[in-house]
Amino acid sequence: MKKLIIAVSTLILFACNETAKPEAETVSINLKPYPEVRKDSISDDYFGTVVNDPYRWLEDDRSSETAEWVKAQNEVTFDYLSQVPYRDQLKARLTELWNYEKVSTPFNKGKYYFYYKNDGIQNQSVLYFKEGLESKEKVLLNPNDWSADGTTALNGLSFSKDAEYMAFGVSKAGSDWLEIRIMDMNTMEMLSDTLRWVKFSGISWHKNGFYYSSYDAPKDGSEFWNKNEFHKVYYHKLGTEQSADQLIFEDQEHPERNFYAAVNEAQTLLIISGSESTSGNTLIVKELDKEGDFVTIVNDFENEQNVVSYSEGEILLFTNVNAPNNKLVKVDLKNPTKENWVDVLPEKKDYLNSVSLANDQLVASYMKDVVTALEIYERDGTFSYAIDLPGLGTAGFSGDKDTALAFYSFSSYTKPGTIYKYDMNTKESTIWYEAKTAFEGDAYETKQVFYKSKDGTKIPMFITHKKGLEMNGQNPTFLYAYGGFNISIKPYYDVKTTVFLEQGGIYAVANLRGGSEYGEEWHKAGMKGKKQNVFDDFIAAGEYLKKNNYTSTEKLAIHGRSNGGLLIGAVMTQRPDLAKVTLPGVGVLDMLRYHKFTIGWAWAGEYGDSESKESFENLYTYSPLHNVEKGTDYPATMVTTADHDDRVVPAHSFKFISELQAKGSNKNPLLIRVDVNAGHGAGKPTSKTIEEWADIWSFVLWNQGIKEFK
């Protein structure tokens, strides 16, 4: 049983008369005792090392006992948060900042242009379309009508040739499981076809049906934790039952492989990509207008590649084979082996993020020190020109291979996305849509700095704050990072951070190893046995911010989600003195058992797994759950997770907070916030996101010693 009282003095001015003196009132937060948590005597022997697992019963997230545990923990957490005096003000201001119209970059299919729009605080964005760019917009799909609480979301869509039909995915309560439904675009009526238990799938049309991927239906009660195995590719013909779908591809010898089917735009080439982790994929293709079997392009998992286009027996292939920064090559399907590949866009110093076709030209998106650069090349790889972008930020491009009309978006940490209409013949850009917000972005600035990690590696970091802010070492600071799975964290506008910036906060994003910021070598430097580099990079970022007087330990909060949740869990157990506040979000926190749930096995390529002695010994050194030490003054911590998270199952967070509460000292609150009827994050309704971040900022600012809301 633990009890914590945090007292902060605030001044209240009494306006009885002009000479009245301010009197001090003590505002305190009373932390209820943590719930008693049952401990079992379960243990595992890993190569001679016995590891106790007393909270394994919490892995059953559908048991009544776990449900009671969640209820009791949430009561403690929400009671604490309700006492933060400016929590309602934070939520109100966050709602104001969120309440602006958001529009996505348009894309063209057949005679239609499509885009997503949210009028401000709609729970889900609405899909609109126009018959021609200048015609009146119409609503095509409004997911806000699908559920009362906004937790049913649109998750992926695909159009048949000439956009006669649309197939789209529906996700409920944030789960990765999808239902696929179909609409006739001529009548705007729904077909009776409904496909269930689809997961990690595309929707790729061919003739009067489409290819998709799914698992066998799970047993009742195991939908959100059961290990996902034997992924299969099917073809569904319109107007038929799912049970009649044709099995196109499976691998009975390798249950832990996933397969993704795609068809080129002309629907003449079927592409199947196979993976057994999050890095590297096989690739086979089949020419649909010709007789013959699949042609193997890549049959190992050493590299990543995807088909950009296909024409007359040749494909343009985006790959990192012998090119850690990626390149584009031409592959003759009659001679597809790697030694016969011909470079079209050879590897450069800068990381090639993607290549697409527009106006029969190649649009190459590069990253230069994590900032987007868009370059246009002819089909043979001859450089044509670069598109001038408005500043330090991230751009996305959308075009059609047969037309000169294209669009690109641009956003930064202080400016929401602006969408430009672009003529690829005249090279002229005009603003098609510009967001208007309550956040005064011009009053803030972003700069990029480079600091040295423990081993001397130079790491980039973006720092955003109000112009003219005094660097006195006392500014509340929020440091975010991810550091894994070849994912880069680029500069973009995130409305969640703006309320913190308005309170005089500093928002910092460190681009750690493990991501793709500088190519595959940067990624590999943060994988498996080198994972400690990621934690060292992040710790060095925190120390840089303090050494350069941006902030201090008492004013520093650190945050990460998913793999970033692992990052925060590892950093807070290795360096509990680094920050005042820690926020491990939907984190991978039990590194010895993560691979036993849902899709966790696929992460072994990134982490290794405890089935081998070498990997176990590495994982055990940093697994957050297994490195909590008795009596340690851990920072003020709020773990966040969701009851329907079937990507990183909530058991990670449940077990970790139980261990923290049992072993941590009384100095700071150690809480968990469990979102109900929500998942890993995708498709979360706006209302839930605002509530979550009002709570996060309340917890952060209060524990940074912020007494009142500005």
Point out the residues that are catalytic.
562, 680
CA distances from residue 560 to 364, 464, 569, 674 in whole angstroms, order as listed: 30, 17, 9, 16
Using the structure block, give the residue that is written with the tokens 């932390």. 31
The number of beta carbons lying within 10 Å of the beta carbon of residue 244 is 10
* Contacts made by residues 528-533, CB under 8 angstroms, sequence distance 24+: 528/606, 528/607, 528/608, 528/615, 528/618, 529/608, 529/614, 529/618, 531/607, 531/618, 531/622, 532/621, 532/622, 533/453, 533/455, 533/457
Residue 377 β-bridge partners: 362, 383
> Rounded to the nearest 5 degrees, what angle is found at the Cα of 109, between the Cα atoms of 212 and 132?
155
Residue 133, sorted as left (phi over 0), alpha (psi -120 to 50) or beta, turns out to be: alpha
User: Is the C-alpha dihedral spanning 214, 219, 223, 226 positive or negative?
Assistant: negative
Query: Residue 395 class from Cβ within 10 Å (0-12 exposed, 13-18 middle, 19+ buried)?
Result: buried
E strand map for 13-137? 23-31, 43-46, 49-52, 102-103, 107-109, 112-118, 126-131
Q: Under a CB-based contact definition with an 8 Å cutoff, are residues 646 and 176 in contact?
A: yes
State how far the Cα of 411 lies from the Cα of 416, in Å rounded to an integer. Answer: 5
Q: What does the buried/exposed string (b/e) look like for 212-242 if buried means 16 or more CB atoms within 10 Å of the residue's CB?
A: bbbbeebeeeebbbebbeebbbbbbebeeeb
State how far the Cα of 687 lies from the Cα of 668, in Å rounded to an integer. Answer: 29
User: Is the C-alpha dihedral spanning 61, 65, 67, 72 positive or negative?
Assistant: negative
> Rounded to the nearest 5 degrees, what angle is found at the Cα of 470, between the Cα atoms of 469 and 476?
75
Could you tell me which of 434, 461, 440 has the C-alpha nearest to residue 548? 461
Could you tell me which of 602, 639, 612 has the C-alpha nearest to residue 624? 639
End-to-end Cα spacing for the chain: 36
Could you tell me which of 225, 233, 227 has the C-alpha nearest to residue 251? 233
Q: What DSSP string describes 183-234?
A: EETTTTEEEEEEEEEE-S---EEETTEEEEEE-PPPPTT-TTTSPP---EEE
Could you tell me which of 512, 497, 504 has the C-alpha nearest to residue 551? 504
The SS3 of residue 167 is: strand
State how far the Cα of 594 lies from the Cα of 674, in Å rounded to an integer. Answer: 19
Q: What is the rounded radius of gyration, in angstroms, for the C-alpha atoms of the chain?
A: 26
State how far the Cα of 377 lies from the Cα of 359, in Å rounded to an integer. Answer: 11
State how far the Cα of 173 lies from the Cα of 193, in Å rounded to an integer. Answer: 22
Q: What is the DSSP letter of 468?
A: T
Largest distance between two CA atoms of the chain: 94
Under 8 Å CB-to-CB from 339, ≥6 apart: which residues? Answer: none
The letter for the amino acid at 258 is N
Could you tell me which of 24, 23, 22, 29 has the C-alpha nearest to residue 7? 29
Query: Residue 310 class from Cβ within 10 Å (0-12 exposed, 13-18 middle, 19+ buried)?
Result: buried
Q: Under a CB-based contact definition with an 8 Å cutoff, are residues 461 and 479 in contact?
A: no
The number of beta carbons lying within 10 Å of the beta carbon of residue 80 is 23
